[in-house]
């Protein structure tokens, strides 16, 4: 494997893609919350035998939403780490450039 100098464009592209992914996750969570609220309202309006089953399903869906929220938070933490890496990479690049000038 040939070693190449770091290309900040690759990291910038990754950050842009992760930003879009995070945005889509956020939109998914918003839609999911609205859908779950409607589903819960439907369960409340249903007759007792069916409403218990529907409420149980709504509880499971709420747990899934919570897991997805935690995943989205993990993606945000990953993005922040990548931004820090990009900043450090740029700083090292500036130092190397200044060193060559001197």
69 vs 94, residue with greater confidence: 69
- Which DSSP category does 46 fall into? S
Confidence of residue 4 (pLDDT cuts 50, 70, 90): low
Instruction: Give phi and psi for 5, each to the nearest 5.
Output: -65, 155
Residues 6+ positions from 33 with CB-CB distance below 8 Å? 65
Domain boundaries defined on the chain: 23-101
Residues of the chain with pLDDT > 70, as a percent, come to 93
CA distance 36 to 61: 7
Maximum average pLDDT range among 79-83, 89-93, 98-102:
79-83
Does the pTM exceed 0.85? Answer: no
């Amino acid at each position: 494997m040939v070693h190449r100098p770091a290309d900040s464009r690759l990291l910038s592209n990754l950050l842009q893609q992760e930003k879009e992914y995070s945005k889509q996750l956020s939109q998914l969570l918003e839609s999911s919350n609205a859908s779950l609220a409607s589903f819960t309202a439907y369960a409340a309006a249903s007759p007792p035998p069916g409403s218990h089953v529907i409420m149980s399903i709504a509880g499971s869906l709420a747990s899934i939403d919570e897991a997805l929220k935690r995943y989205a938070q993990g993606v945000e933490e990953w993005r922040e780490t990548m931004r820090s890496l990009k900043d450090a990479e740029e700083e090292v690049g500036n130092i190397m450039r200044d060193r060559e000038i001197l």
